[in-house]
Structure 1
């Protein structure tokens, strides 16, 4: 925090935030990163045990296997447990080559994770494909709710003309802008994107690729772009949240990529922002992913499960030559984004908490599953409790 250290505890928007610290986090070394994560677990558990009892404890997935701490709070403090799964470990680490698939460490982590998840009262998955993965581990389907992520509030009510200022600032007025905006992580392959940019550099110089974001693969992508002399690829830093509507709206076409082995293990949330500004999206990833299902359901882009650079370049050219199609898709894209809003997620979370509160009060099993219908069906449930009336502790670093 500029001008001083981050306080150990403070109130933010009416929510008390407690912080713990561990060893410095670095992406330079896998071993040092693992040690940093390990140093957080005891600090998080001790702090949570010292806090007043919460009715509900929510465990997250960063750092990995944080759900393992949840059962201790359930047993020692009598709290109900909810796990909010943004990704699944150790499967993600196996798919990316961080852990040997089926190795001793991977099997140990999976067994520990599955045991911990079975102690939770509810597991929230961010996609239907993730729910299938969780159930494949032997978790009861009725305990797994699907609550998708959402676009930032600054993007959800976007003016159709958003992006013009951004285009002028960066000299993009007369260009067809193909944008990748978000984290450049190990889960996001870029080979096909770079190959397509190389094919289009001389063929259609007015098409420009704009990469906005940061992450562990950024340096590699920048190096590749420089080595191939891709003058049609530009890099910009992450944009402030309040400017996202302008930056995302500057694109004519958005790209989202995902490693094919990660279907059901992660769900790229960047798609919600792209659709929120009414732009078509090309998804380079597995057809069974939540993102692919959303795009196909609303016909607001294309799914390219095994796209090569040539295939991607061909589809970009097709979209660049079809302004009427892009305009028609804008309405469909916004309709898709409307199904995944913050208000919908809040209603779903309140339904989870109220159900658990009811179970605790009457000590009888309840049918957990409001979101087990169509996971994108708008939840119109009204609740009698507000956030201030429920003791909810979110356990994360």
Structure 2
């Protein structure tokens, strides 16, 4: 039995992919006999709960916390400092008894507190990278102030000291190696979809304004890492010069979600806008569209891996990815999706997006005309192996996916 202390940001039912994965894994570890303490945030109320799970135990500690204002850098920095200190303080008793401490990049900069503490206590420290910080901020700013360069240098020093760093993809592994992290400290540990898509999973109703069209869904956060301008240009061309058969469902949060919506509406294009759905509806949402949209700016390749890619792959719907072929998104989609239903377009190639939307509409129409059997065949998984490292937390290699809507 291992005594594990796991520290993350938002725990369910609050929205956040990192917390969803953490709770899922904590339950799996406890079921195998480990004693797991999971510490995270709650927007509603603080609590402490001990559960018997399989052969082990799971202690859930939630700290009440207000959401961060991501649009204001100063308030966000102050929130991060206070929240990191509160999380470590809440976990202080367990820091002394844990054999392993596992933390993620959400909230950022916990390594500045946990690394010196682990050296003092002699605890094994695992850093599960989600996004690279402050590198994401540096990519956003472009021009890097001197104080941020110093803070980055200190961050790299702590990063090289951590016992083990788990990365989500090969692009992150390459970046860590370039930063001087020893290869023996880096472990590839891909995530998986936070929900299971089963044969009995029902789709959500199609919004009225999208009825009769091939539905393209963007679901998740829209941040500075996500480039939507190329898609909007291609979407405009599809409606003004093409068949106009595709329509966008924007189920989004984040600092640029409203700007994405405005760009589409100002272009006079069809759109249905919602916020994040409850976790118990996520599987249904994933199988509802004809295609998923994923975007990532080139400057953020390796700095973050859009977590939505795992759910998109599990849904076996078509995927339109606007971004670099050097990213983990392309590697996973290229390996696991039917090549007829995966479309990658470079940033800035609006006409490429328009061509992809025509292909998505063609495939949706063919699936609807041919009936459920053809739709199910389009959803058949592509045989591929992610490699031995992924056995730690694998993507599901085979799923039973429902037919597309007729």
Provide TM-score, normalisation by structure 1. 0.76
> Which of 338, 347, 367 in structure 2 is aligned with 1:306?
347
Q: CA deviation at 1:100?
A: 3.0
- 1:368-379 aligned at under 5 Å gives the runs none
- Cα distance, 1:96 vs structure 2: 1.4
CA contact (8 A) 1:147 1:348 kept: yes
Q: Which runs of 5 or more structure 2 residues have no equivalent in the other structure?
A: 1-12, 15-42, 368-373, 398-406
One of 308, 313, 320 as aligned partner of 1:275: 313
Tell me by how many angstroms 1:124 deviates.
Answer: 0.2
Note if 1:129 corresponds to 2:129. Answer: no
**CA drift at 1:23:** 7.5
2:113 aligns with 69
Indicate the SS of the match to 1:153. Answer: coil
Which residue is 2:92 aligned to? 49
Shift of 1:42: 2.9
What per-residue deviation string (whole Å, max 9, x for no partner) do you get for residues 284-308 of structure 1? 1111111111222343512222342
Residue aligning to 1:166:
205
Cα separation, 1, equivalents of 2:68 and 2:217:
29
Within the alignment, does 1:331 sit opposite 2:377 as a pair? Answer: no
TM (normalized to structure 2)? 0.75
Alignment match of 1:206 (pick from 223, 236, 245): 245
Query: Which residue in the other structure is 1:150 paired with?
Result: 192
Q: Distance in 2 between matches of 1:74 and 1:122?
A: 12
Question: C-alpha distance in 2, partners of 1:184/1:296?
Answer: 23
Which structure 2 residues correspond to residues 246-395 of structure 1 after superposition, within 5 A?
A: 246-298=284-336, 299=339, 301-322=342-363, 323=366, 329-332=378-381, 348=392
Shift of 1:250: 1.5
Report what 1:178 is aligned to. Answer: 216
- CA apart distance, 1:140: 0.7
- Separation in 1, partners of 2:169, 2:62: 29
Map of 2:151 onto structure 1: 109
Q: Are 1:87 and 2:114 an aligned pair? A: no
Q: Tell me the secondary structure at the aligned position of residue 86 of structure 2.
A: helix
Change in Cα spacing, 1:89 to 1:229, as seen in structure 2 (3 Å) is: same
Offset at residue 198 of structure 1 (A)? 1.9
**Cα distance change on mapping 1:201 and 1:219 into 2, 3 Å:** same
The answer to whether residue 261 in structure 2 is matched with residue 222 in structure 1 is yes
- Return the offset for 1:56: 0.2
Instruction: Give 3-state SS (helix, strand or coil) of 1:150's partner.
Output: coil
* 2: CA distance, partners of 1:255 / 1:23: 30
| Maintained 8 Å contact 1:85/1:126 | yes
Number of equivalenced pairs = 339
* 8 Å contact from structure 1 (residues 178, 252) kept in 2: yes
> Unaligned regions of 5+ residues in structure 1, if any?
350-374, 379-397
Bigger shift: residues 172-181 or 27-36: 172-181
Q: Secondary structure at the match of 1:179?
A: strand
Report the secondary structure of 2:97's partner residue: coil
Q: Name whichever structure is richer in strand by fraction.
A: 2
SS in 2 for 1:96: helix
Q: What are the superposed Cα offsets for residues 80-135 of structure 1, whole Å, 9 maximum, x if unpaired?
A: 100000011222111112x733x422322222122112221110000011011011
From the superposition, tell whether residues 204 and 154 of structure 1 become closer, same or farther in structure 2 (CA, over 3 Å).
same
The answer as to whether partners of 2:265 and 2:271 remain within 8 angstroms in 1 is no
Whose RCO is larger (CA < 8 A, sep 6+)?
1
Other structure's SS at 2:98 match = coil
